[in-house]
Amino acid sequence: MSNSMWGGRFSEGPAAIMEEINASIGFDQKLYRQDIAGSKAHAAMLARQGIIAADDAEKIAAGLDAILREIEAGEFKFSRALEDIHLNIESRLKELIGDAAGRLHTARSRNDQVATDFKLWVRDTIDAMDAALRELQVALADKAFAHAGQVMPGFTHLQSAQPVTFGHHLLAYVEMIGRDRGRFQDARRRLNENPLGAAALAGTSFPIDRFQTAASLGFDRPTANSLDSVSDRDFVIEALAAASLCAIHLSRFAEEIVIWSSAQFRFIKLSDKFTTGSSIMPQKRNPDAAELVRAKTGRIIGAQTALQIVMKGLPLAYQKDMQEDKEQAFDAFESLELAIAATTGMVLDMEPEAANLKKAAGSGFATATDLADWLVRELNMPFRDAHHVTGRIVAIASERGVDLTKVTLDEMQAVHPAITDAVYSVLTVDKSVRSRTSYGGTSPKNVRAQAKRWQRVLARE
């Protein structure tokens, strides 16, 4: 049997394999809410413009509401033979309200319909991501404030570099996530134009009002070119690009959580809530949640890449290739949502191990830069010379297996006679972080102020 929705010129039904490769209902049923909202807006506009009768529009709206209830109650029977969510809903509408259903598709095509539905879905998803990311920022900023003065090692090349504070480290992620949210908002702004009414590709001869449907669906305006309207998938690629960068940030943090919670580091403790045991090694507490956040990033970046490759060779206008946009995007955003929620959970759960952090902060001669800065400040030495003198003092400490505070004044003066015992006052990690008062620096006072600033900004949203 040919397709009841478009089979007029067909005498035979599709091959089984054709139906299988063609159908998208298995995944695009996720768009049911957006599809119904779009159809209701379209039908109301058609009636207001006198293109269909008001009572037909009412029947259509009531039928669509009934379908929404059926789907949400799990009572709707999705049919693969009907290909996709659009035809499934329209076909059911016909069963429910009869011939009036056939008027809904006036001045519309599935091409502008799917672009509209998917834009609405991406927009809803961006809003959900934004709310979840805000929660993560709140958790990070609160924890940062609580541990603004907790020293820890700062690394470059994963070698001890200079002491920083735990709060400062967490606030770095608040900044990154702030930019991620900004990118999602940028994408949302560009996305928010209504493709509905572009019809198949050329527009329509019916006197539709695309500004009306734009307003009722919360779009800022209609898209200006009908070909572009049905061919554009920038909006989802751009949202996936924002998602990829966000996932990269979460992944870097996840990697740090894995390192920090290892027995060799012991910088943080994660509770039983975010760890798992091993079936053979009784001592183990594995940071699986962090590892999976790290891994899910691959799927998210993969989705962006996959969709870029799908789109790069397509001539205008709609091509069936574009049906491949949804599964990837659904999976990517589901993964990101999960990753954000797991990261927020871990932030709330993690407790810094103060003594270990402090001990580690002082190891690796982490205050060597403070010593060099002291030589510049107190002895008016050029920084390059100070660097060299400090290097020789570090070599002495290293040889003796002690840290810089244990190098004697005699030993220091042997390297440079003008050094006085005032130098010891800058060699502790607490002094070091307290001295980093430049704007954006790690001094606990700065960190507290920045955490407060974020808390205020986030509370106002």
Q: Among all residues, which ones are annotated catalytic?
A: 157, 278
Binding characters for ligand ARG, 290-329, by CB under 6 A (x = yes): ----------------------------x-x-xx------
Question: How far apart are CB 233 and ligand ARG at their closest, in Å?
Answer: 10
Question: How far apart are CB 232 and ligand ARG at their closest, in Å?
Answer: 13
Of the pair 149, 203, the CB lying nearest ligand ARG is at 203
Q: Is the dihedral of CA 50, 53, 56, 61 positive or negative?
A: positive
Scan residues 105-144 and list those touching ligand ARG (CB under 6 A): 110-111, 114
H-only helix segments in 156-233: 166-191, 210-216, 226-231
Of the pair 28, 193, the CB lying nearest ligand ARG is at 28
Of the pair 327, 385, the CB lying nearest ligand ARG is at 327
Binding characters for ligand ARG, 253-282, by CB under 6 A (x = yes): ------------------------------
Which run of H or of E encompasses 405?
A: none
Question: How far apart are CB 87 and ligand ARG at their closest, in Å?
Answer: 8
Q: Can you tell me the distance from the alpha carbon of 331 to that of 303, in angstroms, rounded to the nearest whole number?
A: 8
For 15, how many CA atoms within 13 A lie in the half-sphere containing its CB?
Answer: 3
Strands 221-222 and 193-194: parallel
Query: 112-130: b or e for each residue (b if 16 or more CB lie within 10 Å)?
Result: bbbbbbbbbbbbebbeebb
Residue type, 271: S
Of the pair 26, 440, the CB lying nearest ligand ARG is at 26
If binding means CB under 6 A, how many residues of this protein chain bind ligand ARG? 10
Question: How far apart are CB 52 and ligand ARG at their closest, in Å?
Answer: 22
- Supply 308's token pair: 């870029």
Residue 302 burial (10 A CB sphere; 0-12, 13-18, 19+): middle
- Whether the bond between 317 and the residue before it is cis, its omega within 30 degrees of 0, is yes
Question: How far apart are CB 126 and ligand ARG at their closest, in Å?
Answer: 20
Residue type, 72: E
Distances (CA, A) of 49 to 42, 44, 74, 209: 11, 9, 35, 7
169 near ligand ARG, rule: CB under 6 A: no
Residue type, 307: L
Of the pair 323, 328, the CB lying nearest ligand ARG is at 323
Strands 268-269 and 351-352: antiparallel
Scan residues 61-100 and list those touching ligand ARG (CB under 6 A): 84
- Return the axis-axis angle of helices 110-146 and 32-48, rounded to nearest 10°: 130
Residue 49 burial (10 A CB sphere; 0-12, 13-18, 19+): middle
Of the pair 323, 443, the CB lying nearest ligand ARG is at 323
- Supply 168's token pair: 């400062």
Tallying the residues shown for the chain, one arrives at: 461
Of the pair 114, 243, the CB lying nearest ligand ARG is at 114
Distances (CA, A) of 298 to 235, 240, 301: 21, 12, 5
Q: Is the dihedral of CA 217, 220, 221, 222 positive or negative?
A: negative
Q: Can you tell me the distance from the alpha carbon of 346 to that of 297, in angstroms, rounded to the nearest whole number?
A: 17
Which run of H or of E encompasses 456?
A: helix 444-460
Of the pair 111, 150, the CB lying nearest ligand ARG is at 111
Question: How far apart are CB 17 and ligand ARG at their closest, in Å?
Answer: 17
Binding characters for ligand ARG, 2-31, by CB under 6 A (x = yes): ----------------------x---x---
Question: How far apart are CB 85 and ligand ARG at their closest, in Å?
Answer: 8
Residue type, 270: L
Question: How far apart are CB 74 and ligand ARG at their closest, in Å?
Answer: 22
Question: How far apart are CB 159 and ligand ARG at their closest, in Å?
Answer: 51
Q: What are the backbone dihedrals phi and psi of residue 217, each rounded to the nearest 5 degrees, phi first? A: -100, 5
Q: Can you tell me the distance from the alpha carbon of 247 to that of 335, in angstroms, rounded to the nearest whole number?
A: 9
Of the pair 195, 364, the CB lying nearest ligand ARG is at 195
Q: Which residues bind ligand ARG (CB under 6 A)?
A: 24, 28, 84, 110-111, 114, 318, 320, 322-323
